[in-house]
Structure formats: structure tokens, C-alpha cells
Structure 1
Amino acid sequence: MSSANTSRRVAFETIRAVNESDAYANLLLPKAIARAALDTADAGLATELTYGTLRRQGTYDAVIRIAADRPVQEIDPAVLDALRLGTHQLLSTRVASHAAVNESVELARSAGSRGAAGFANAVLRRISRDTPGEWMDRVAASARSDDERLGLVFSHPVWIVRAFRRALAAEGRADELEALLTADNASPRVTMAALPGLAEIPDAARRTPYSPVGFRLGGGDPEGLVRSSEGRVRVQDEGSQLAALALVNALPVADGERWLDLCAGPGGKTALLAAEARTRGAALEANEVSSARAGLVRQAVAGIPEGIPVSEEDGRTRAGEDAYDRILVDAPCTGLGALRRRPEARWRKSPADVPELTQLQGELLAAAVRGLRRGGIVAYVTCSPHLAETAGVVAEVRREFDGTLEELDARAVVTSLSASDPLLPPQSDGSGRAQLWPHRHNTDAMSITLLRRH
């Protein structure tokens, strides 16, 4: 088997595991690449095929439905995954058509039968006869509404398209919707953070425009740099960096402050807060209810010389009463802001997930408020722009603590950290919430709200 065919096999098996067993591509793919002993180029091909196919799955299903003249639900799941992988190569890569068709047919044969191989061959050859633009026109024409058209063409469930439109409209920027959907389908650039007081940004690196501790490498292996620095240099989205830094920089830090990262897993923000606490005379504690994720937090802060205590308690009771000066609530959420790096997430979430999450988010934020000392600050952060998870949760908690919470201007804080203007328009509800976006900031769609307890 050629190296390119091995890459296709690795991609196919990863896609199968994601769709059949609810596996996570970002966890499974690196292990599969290592087992197959792929070199850098072939690993890159396997990664592009896997993530590209998963991101664009909705669009490819629409193409396959038209080419096969049958609903995709009637196609054997393993054969359908082979068709998706072949369609991605035909419509979105420079892979030669004959290679894309032949190897995908072989994958269908190995997963199904001779009849499955013949069916896959016919469908893929039908797709290969027309250009990507012609297929996109057909897909768009099959839609019953404009929202469905956007969902099919940009490969997002319709409910997410609508949630994004509402969130952008809250800034008066609904016209950016297609740019956002396009950005969600692009591979994110690797961004890194140098923990302040413990590491320096390499001279050859390019600094990020908004986070003062962020940078991007021109090339090379970022994981090698992470290992050699003992975790004091980290891979971390710039939006995540800004969320932690906003809590630290919202108001001057007094010596001896107590800080808490209430929902700390997997620990990236915890590590940055720990480094900041170390340089500012504060003490940080971390909490993560999941034992597995708490283990990741301990790994993340292993490079902090003084060590950080990590508890494994329910965040709704962990903060206590009047105990902390600053609390980060990086709440469990739909993750709609990180669809670039979690390609399968868009197909796993549904509108039915939102009410349960917003209830939990509100309970965690309320617990954090009770855990603040007078004058203390909580940063409420979600990696989702969904208004129910952001503005809605904050509004409900502010009503609960009638008149005792002051909202600080998170947009001004983020702007003060940035070397470039981050373009953070006011929110229509008059709040100080800062909303970051993939298409505008090249970050995850991170929402940051800062509340101070009177």
C-alpha cells in the first residue's frame, strides 16, 4: 500500500470511529498516525482528509444524495463514509480524480461488498464529471429556505446558522454571517502562549495582534517546543489567552489576592492564570469536577514552580461564600465557537442541548458570585456565541443578585491588552460583553463577561 493510500486508510478509519462510536477526531487521529508511522507529509494528508471531510460532511451528504438519487440515510454507513471521503478529495483537494475514485471505491469494498464497491464507483464517477462550482449550485438550488441554503453550502446545521446570525445581529454585523461560516470551515492556525515570568516569546516568532503573551511560529514542530519548555510554552488559542488575561487585568491586582479557576479542565487558562498569579503576588486554586480532566489540569500546571492545588468538586458548591477576589467560570457549553478545531461537534449538538447547559451555566455563575469577596470579579466565559449561553445567562444571574453586580467593560479590557484594534462592536443589549470571532479575530468565538460584586 502506498503512503498516500495509508493516509486515506487512516482518515477513513478515524471518520468511521467518529461517526460510529462518537469518538473525537483530535484524540483519535494522532494515535492512528503514530500507529501507521506516517511521515510529516503523509500525516498532513491524513489530517486534511479527516478534518476536511468531517467539517464539510453536511455539504457532501447533499452532493451524494443528488448523485446517488437516494437519501443518504439509505446508504450503508461505512460506504457513506467512504463516499464522503472521496467527495472531499474530488471537490475540495488537488488529489487526482482517478486516485480519489479508485481508493475510495476500495475503501467501500473493504467495508461492504462487491455491490457496495460498484455503487460507490458509480456515485463518485458521477460527482467527478462536474466542477465543484456546478455541484454547489445544485446543492444551493435544492434548499427550501435561505437558512437551509447557507446550511447546505457552508456545511452547518440550520439551527447553528440561525444562532450565529442572531449573535452577529446583536453587534449590528449580521452581514458577516457568510464570512463566519467560511472561517468555521478553515483549518485554524496554531497559536501559542509563553507563560509570563516563566518563558519568553522566541525571537523568530510572530506576535499575535491581541494577546500580549501569544505568538505563532513560522514553521517547525510546536509540540517539540512545548516539550523542551516543560509546558511553559503552550499551544493555546488566542481567544482563550484573552479570556484569562481579561480577568487578571480588569482591575489592579492587590497583593495576597485569592483566585479560583472554577471549571478548569483541560487547564490551558489555568496555566496562564497561575503564571500571572505568580508574578502579581496572588494565589490560584483550580477545580475540575471530572477526574480525567482534573488530571489534564495537573499536567497543564506542572511547569509552575510553586504548584497549584486542583480539587475535584462540583463547581456549584466549590467556591463557598465570600472567599475569592477573582474567579474564572469557563463554563461547559455547546462549543459552537470552536467548530474549526472540533469538526464533528457541529453534527453532535442540537437545540435540545441548550436549555440544560444554560441552567448549569447559570448555577455555576451564581455560585461564583456568592464565592466572591466584596469588590471581587468573576469572568464568565463560554466558547460559544449563542446568545442564550452568553447574554441570556448573565442577564438571569444579574436579576438573581438584584443590584449587587456591576458589569465591567470587557471590550475595553481586551482592547487595552491588544497591540491592534480588536474591532469589538457594542452589544445591542448595552452590555460590556466582549465577543471574539473566527472570521474577524482568527480566534475561537469566545464570549467574555466581567462582573464585579458590590
Structure 2
Amino acid sequence: MSEQSRSPYRRPRHGSRPGQGGAQGGAAQAKPRDPARRVAYDVLRAVDQRDAYANLLLPALLNERGISGRDAALATELTYGTLRLQGTYDAIMETCVDRTLASVDAEVLPVLRLGAHQLLSTKIPPHAAVSATVDLARRVVGHHRARFANAVLRKVAARDLDAWTEVIAPDRAVDPSGYLSVVHSHPRWVVKELARALGERSSTGLVETERLLVAHNERPKVTLMAKPGRATVADLVAVGAEPTPYSPFGAQLPEGDPGTIREIRQGRAAVQDEASQLVALALTRVDVHGRDELWLDMCAGPGGKAGLLASLAGKGEARLVASEVQPARAGLVARAVHRAPRDAGRAIAADGTRPAWRPGVFDRVLVDAPCTGLGALRRRPESRWRRTENSAADLAPLQHDLLVNAVEAVRPGGVVAYVTCSPHLDETDGVVRRVLAERDDLTLLRAADLLDGVPDLAAGEDGRYVQFWPHRHGTDAMFLALLRRS
């Protein structure tokens, strides 16, 4: 069951008090051992304590435990809904405990958050939400702490989400970043950095920033990519997908599990965000002034862009080397490029900061640099709680070194695409500017010109970068800079 599958349990962000309208088909009544709530708890606990990723762990646990249908839909809604609004729920529960929330036992917090989500953001009746959550607490944390959870959740149930917002949120006119942080469940520093990337100031009320935060908390559709030469968008449409608005290889799955699609199982198509498809496509559209035979994907894991690039290379006369530093992820890359047209893709395990190739041999180089992931908060909501205000600064030296090595790897006349799944200016403009200042053999191209069918893309000085946004384009917030070596 994919995270994007439609759930009958969720209610609108604003509106009636929780529980109005009744239970949905008996969803509120716990079945024996309540598999949906238990798996949601186990995922939240692993995310919090082991830095697990919900989008990887939840499907694995659902499959391992044989959970499907309505139970899988409920587990999906509880897991992702709780992660997205965790900041809001924590602010509410701070007022409902007689000590700081940070002092609450780590194994109890996921129970409280699950209960708060059911009470404040689903159609599950309040009495059923409390009862089922307290029963879960008895099984996972014991009777004594279950009584504590019961007391806290009964206080949470005293107000609906709108009423709680009026109690806990700062005054928007005085502290717009603080208000948006609490109401839309993002750390304050993330709100400020997103506003900076959008070019908004607090004095404007951060209107567009709020639209972006709202988009982060909406459930995205699954986007698929038909590998050129191996599958077509028509193949995906035939199994219920809809063509994406911008990518010629993309299709969106309104609901359902992409793993059931034949083209996905056979490796002829893959799950890949539309913006990821388009930044790779932009690199292939640049005139490289001469031969066009050898391409490099320098940070290729887990292989989404490499799969597309290998297929595009194979349809022409080029070949792709896809490099990934982690051997396990290099194996994923190998599967992604397997059976590209003309066997044009080759995966290797290599460190982009210690190149395993000679300098100046590639015609096109993609460096999809490790980043904070702030551009993928729709799909990985836990990332907003996992990163800190210093995360971008910590990653910037690595990003700089990777871009420098990418430039060294490309021949004169060739092109480098620098990509991050983050709009944070320290990871995007800051890195590119530094490298440009250090070298006199680079020209920054107008990347948006290669994607002229997509509106509102141009970013940075003179609009030479590409910046996708969830609220503008319905994609992850991918950044792209194209640099030609002279």
C-alpha cells in the first residue's frame, strides 16, 4: 500500500469537530490486536529512535505482517498524518501534560501523537480514538503509562484543531514565522529558510511560504517514469495512471500500489518524481559542442535519474557511467540501468570526492548532491524533524567538493548539471556561486530555457537556475544549475 493511497479516515484540515459524521465503515473499532495502529506505532518509533524512513519501512512491515485493504489504508493515514503534523500535535500536548513533553518517555510519545492525530485530523469518533489508543498503549508501554496516555488524550479531545490553534499559535502579525511553524507543523528555522528561498520577507505575511507549507502536508500522488525505449506513458495510462503535465516520460497514479504494475515489476518503468525526470532531461538537451559519447551520473544512488539517463543515452550514441559511493546503493543503481537500450548503462561503486575516472573524459555530468532533503518534505515528512539549522552548512563542503570534481570530470565544451532536492540557498546558490568564483572556465547557462514548457521555474540572479516547487508545479522542490566548461 503506497503512502499516497486514498484514505477514508482523514478529514479536512479545517472544519467540524472531530468525530462529526460518524465512523467510516466501522474503522474506529479495533480488531483483535489492532494491526493498523500497531504497525503505525512501530514505524513512528523506528523513525524517532533509529532514523528509519517511513516510506521504506511501512510498506515492508505491511507486507511482512500481511496487512492489506482497510487496515493498510488506516495504518498509512495514521503514520504519515502523524509525521506531518507532529509539530502541531506536540505544541498542543505541551499544554496537556504536567511536565515538559521532552521528559515524556520516548516509547510513549508515538502513542500520544497517534492519538492526537486520530482526535484532531480524522473522522474517527473521539471516544473510539481514545479507547483504541489507550488499548495500544497497554500493549506497548504497560498499564501505568497507558493511564497517563488516557489522561493526556482526554485533555486533547476537549478542543478541535482550529480551537487548539487559537490557543497555541503565536500572533501572526507579530511573529509570522512562529505562527506558520505551529499551524503547519514545520520547525521555525525551516519556515525561515523556505521563505528566504522564495524571496519573501516577514513583513509581507509570508503568503507564498504558507502555500508551500500547506502543499508539504498534502498527500502527493505516486509519479511514475516510463523508461524511454522500454515503456511508454501509454503503457502506464492503460493501467490507470494519468500523464504528468510536463515530463514526456511521466504518469501519475491516483491511488494504489505501484508495485503491482507490470512495467514497474519488470524494470521498464520506475517511481520517480516529475521534477527529477525533468532536471535529468534538461542535461540531455544542452548542446555540448562536439562529441556526445560518454555521460556520468556521479551520485547515482538509488538510481532513479540514472535509469532515465541510461535509457536516453541508449536511444542515441552515448553511454552512461553511474557511480555511487555506497556498495548496497550501487546495486540498486545497477538494477535501475539494467537492460537500457544498447546496454548503455554501467554502474560502479566509487566515491565522487576521490574520482575513479580520468579528468576531462565525460561530455555530460550529473551531480545530484547529498542534501538536507527539504525539497521532499511531502514524501519524507520526518526529514523536517531530523535536520537542524546547521545541517545545510555541514553539507556545503561536501557539495562544493562534488561539484568541483564534476567540473574536473567534464571535457571543455561539456556540461555539468548540479542538482539538489532542496531549495535551501546555502545548498544551491551558495555552492554554485563559490565554485564560479574559484574558476574562470565555467559559464552558468539559463537552465529554464531547456524546460520552456514549465512555468515559473527561473530562479536566482538573472533567472539562470531552475527551482521547482510543490505548490507551483506539484513536484518536489528540485534545484538545477547547468554549467558549461570552456
Distance change >3 Å, CA 411–CA 353, structure 1 → 2: same
User: TM-score, with normalisation over the residues of structure 2?
Assistant: 0.87
Distance in 2 separating the partners of 1:439 and 1:303: 36
Q: Which moved more, 1:127-136 or 1:267-276?
A: 127-136
Query: What is the Cα deviation at residue 71 of structure 1?
Result: 1.5
Distance change >3 Å, CA 231–CA 10, structure 1 → 2: same
1:157 equivalent to 2:194? Answer no
Q: 2:304 aligns with which of 254, 268, 286?
A: 268
Aligned to 1:242: 278
Q: Which moved more, 1:212-221 or 1:51-60?
A: 212-221
Aligned to 1:309: 346
Aligned to 1:211: 247
Residue 314 of structure 1 aligns with an amino acid whose one-letter code is D
Query: What is the Cα deviation at residue 3 of structure 1?
Result: 6.9
Query: What is the Cα deviation at residue 110 of structure 1?
Result: 2.5
Question: Do the aligned residues in 1 keep the contact of 2:200 with 2:209 (CA within 8 Å)?
Answer: no
Distance in 2 separating the partners of 1:309 and 1:173: 50
Aligned to 1:453: 485
**More helix by percentage:** 1
Residue 351 of structure 2 aligns with an amino acid whose one-letter code is D
Q: State the secondary structure of the residue aligned to 1:67.
A: coil
Residue 22 of structure 1 aligns with an amino acid whose one-letter code is D
**Unmatched 5+ residue regions in structure 2?**
1-29
Question: Do the aligned residues in 2 keep the contact of 1:55 with 1:155 (CA within 8 Å)?
Answer: yes
Question: Do the aligned residues in 1 keep the contact of 2:195 with 2:209 (CA within 8 Å)?
Answer: yes
Question: Do the aligned residues in 2 keep the contact of 1:166 with 1:174 (CA within 8 Å)?
Answer: no
Aligned to 2:46: 17
**Unmatched 5+ residue regions in structure 1?**
none
Aligned to 1:433: 465
Aligned to 1:70: 99
Aligned to 1:59: 88
Q: 1:33 aligns with which of 54, 62, 67?
A: 62
Residue 238 of structure 1 aligns with an amino acid whose one-letter code is E
Q: State the secondary structure of the residue aligned to 2:395.
A: helix
Query: What is the Cα deviation at residue 122 of structure 1?
Result: 1.6
Aligned-residue identity in percent? 48
1:80 equivalent to 2:113? Answer no
Question: Do the aligned residues in 1 keep the contact of 2:289 with 2:413 (CA within 8 Å)?
Answer: no
Query: What is the Cα deviation at residue 51 of structure 1?
Result: 1.1
Q: 2:75 aligns with which of 28, 46, 50?
A: 46
Residue 408 of structure 1 aligns with an amino acid whose one-letter code is L
What is the correspondence of 1:123-202 to structure 2 with a 5 Å cutoff?
A: 123-141=152-170, 145-169=175-199, 175-202=207-234
Q: State the secondary structure of the residue aligned to 1:315.
A: coil
Q: After superposition, give the CA deviation of every residue in 1:207-248 in whole Å (9 maximum; x if it has no partner).
A: 111111111235554212255661111111001101110100
Question: Do the aligned residues in 2 keep the contact of 1:3 with 1:38 (CA within 8 Å)?
Answer: no
Residue 125 of structure 2 aligns with an amino acid whose one-letter code is A
Query: What is the Cα deviation at residue 355 of structure 1?
Result: 2.0
Figure out how many residues of one structure are paired with residues of the other and give that number.
448
Query: What is the Cα deviation at residue 36 of structure 1?
Result: 2.2
Q: 2:295 aligns with which of 237, 259, 267?
A: 259
Aligned to 1:329: 367
Distance in 2 separating the partners of 1:145 and 1:14: 34
What is the correspondence of 1:326-405 to structure 2 with a 5 Å cutoff?
A: 326-402=364-440, 404-405=441-442
Query: What is the Cα deviation at residue 48 of structure 1?
Result: 1.1
Q: State the secondary structure of the residue aligned to 1:430.
A: helix
**Backbone CA RMSD of aligned residues:** 2.2
Query: What is the Cα deviation at residue 127 of structure 1?
Result: 1.4
